[in-house]
Chains A and B, each alone.
Chain A
Amino acid sequence: MNVSKCDTKHLRCDCLTFIAQHYTFFPLALGQILRQYAVTEMHLALNAGNWNYDRWGYPEEQGVGTGAELWAWMGDGAAITVDERWKGLRNALAGLFCASLGSLDELRTTSPAQTFIPEGTLPDWGVSHTVRHASLPSEHVCTENLTPFLKLLPCKSLSGIASLLNPHRLFDADWHGMGVHVLWREGEGVEMRLTFQSVSDPLRYDSAKKQDWSLQSLFDRTIHRSCPVAQSSEIVVALPKNALYSIKPEPPLIERSSAHFDVNTPLEYRSESTQFSVKRTLRGPSQAHGQLSVVIVNHRPYAIHTLYLETMPWLLQFYVHTLEARVDGVLQAGIISNLTYIPSVPHSRPTTFQALLNLPPHSTVQITMDVTKAFLRYTEHPPDAQRGWDLPPAIFTPVELATNDSSFSVKEGRHYTSTLLVDLATPDFSMPYNVIIFTCSVIAYIFGTIFNLLTRRFVVVRLDQTKT
Chain B
Amino acid sequence: MSLTSKIPSTPEYPSFASIFLILIAARLWVSLTDLSDILKHDQQLSSPLTSFSQLKEGIFLFNHDIDPYSGGSFRHSPLLLSFFVTALPSSRKLASVLWTCSDAVGAWALVRIWRARQNVRQSPRDVLVAASYLFNPYIFLPSLALSTSSLENTLLLLSIMFACKGKASASLFLLSSVIHLSLSSAIMLLPILLLLITDPHSHIASPKPLSTPLKKAIPLFGEFVAYMVALTLTSTLVAGSWSWIPQTWGATLTLPDLTPNTGLWWYFFTEMFDHFRPFFLMVFTVHLFIYVVPVCLKFQHDPLYAVFILLGILGTFKPYTTLSDPGLFLTMFAIFPEIYPYMRYPIVTVLLHLHASLLMPLFHHLWLSQGTGNANFFYASTLVFACANGAALVDCIWPGLMIAIGPRVEGYSIVQE
Residues of A within 8 A of B (CB): 285-289, 314, 317-322, 339, 341-347, 349, 351, 370, 372, 375-379, 425-428, 431-432, 435-436, 438-439, 442-443, 445-447, 449-463, 465
Whether A461 lies near B413 (C-beta < 8 A) is yes
Is B256 at the interface (CB under 8 A from chain A)?
Answer: yes
Known A287-B369, A446-B386: A343·B61 in contact at CB below 8 Å:
yes
Decide if A320 touches B413 in the complex (CB within 8 Å). no
CA distance A377 to B280 in the complex (A): 15
Whole-angstrom distance between the alpha carbons of A153 and B257 in the complex? 48
A-B contact pairs, 19 of them (CB 8 A): A317-B72, A320-B61, A339-B64, A341-B61, A342-B70, A342-B71, A351-B71, A376-B258, A378-B270, A378-B271, A427-B270, A435-B270, A438-B383, A439-B268, A442-B264, A450-B291, A450-B397, A460-B412, A461-B415
A294 to B386, CA, bound (A): 43
Question: A436 is contacted by which of B61, B66, B272 (Cβ under 8 Å)?
Answer: B272
**Cβ-based interface call for B298 (8 A):** yes
Please indicate the chain B residues that have their CB under 8 angstroms from the CB of A452 in the complex.
416
- What does DSSP make chain B's interface, helix, strand, loop or mixed? helix
Contact B274 A462 (CB under 8 A): no
Most buried by A among B71, B269, B271, B394: B271
Contact B295 A454 (CB under 8 A): yes
Which chain B residue shows the least CB distance to A432? B271
Chain A residues touching B, majority SS: mixed
**Looking at the complex, which one of B71, B369, B402 makes contact with A458 (CB distance below 8 Å)?**
B402
Q: Lowest 10 CB-CB distances: which A-B pairs, in order?
A: A343-B71, A321-B60, A446-B390, A435-B271, A346-B72, A432-B271, A456-B416, A375-B258, A287-B368, A439-B268
Residue numbers in B under 8 Å from A447 (CB-CB): 287
Give B384-417 interface residues, CB cut-off 8 Å to A: 386-387, 390, 393-394, 397-398, 401-402, 405, 411-417
User: Do A375 and B401 touch across chains, with their CB atoms under 8 A apart?
Assistant: no
Expressed in whole angstroms, the minimum distance between the Cβ of B172 and any Cβ of chain A is 27
A425 to B379 alpha-carbon distance, docked (Å): 13
Assembled-state Cα–Cα distance A318/B269 (Å): 24
Residues of A with C-beta under 8 A to B222: none
Contact A449 B270 (CB under 8 A): no
B73 sits at the interface (CB 8 A): yes
A167 to chain B, nearest CB (A): 39
Contact A343 B268 (CB under 8 A): no
- B59 sits at the interface (CB 8 A): yes
B367 at interface by CB-CB < 8 Å? yes
Q: Is the CB of A289 within 8 A of B41?
A: yes
CA distance A308 to B362 in the complex (A): 39
Query: Which residue in chain B gives the minimum CB-CB distance to A462?
Result: B412
Q: How far is the CB of A389 from chain B (nearest CB, A)?
A: 16
Partner of A432, one of B70, B272, B412: B272
Instruction: Name A343's contact: one of B41, B72, B401, B412 (CB within 8 Å).
Output: B72
What are the residues of chain A within 8 A of B368 when measuring CB–CB?
286-288, 425
What residues of chain A lie closer than 8 Å to B15, measured between beta carbons?
A: none
How many angstroms between the C-alpha atoms of A314 and B256 in the bound complex?
A: 12
Contacts of B133 in A (CB 8 A): none
Question: Which residues of B are found within 8 Å of A426, using beta-carbon distances?
Answer: 374-375
B316 at the binding interface (Cβ < 8 Å): yes
B357 within 8 A of A: no
Q: A289-B41, A317-B73, A442-B383 are in contact. List 13 more A-B contacts (CB 8 A).
A: A286-B368, A288-B369, A321-B57, A342-B70, A375-B257, A375-B266, A379-B273, A436-B268, A438-B383, A443-B386, A452-B416, A457-B417, A458-B415
Q: Which of B256, B271, B415 contacts A347 (CB 8 A)?
A: B256
B259 within 8 A of A: yes
Look across to chain B and name the residue whose beta carbon is closest to the beta carbon of A433.
B271
Is A451 within 8 A of B294, CB to CB?
A: yes
Chain A, Cβ-Cβ closest to B70: A343
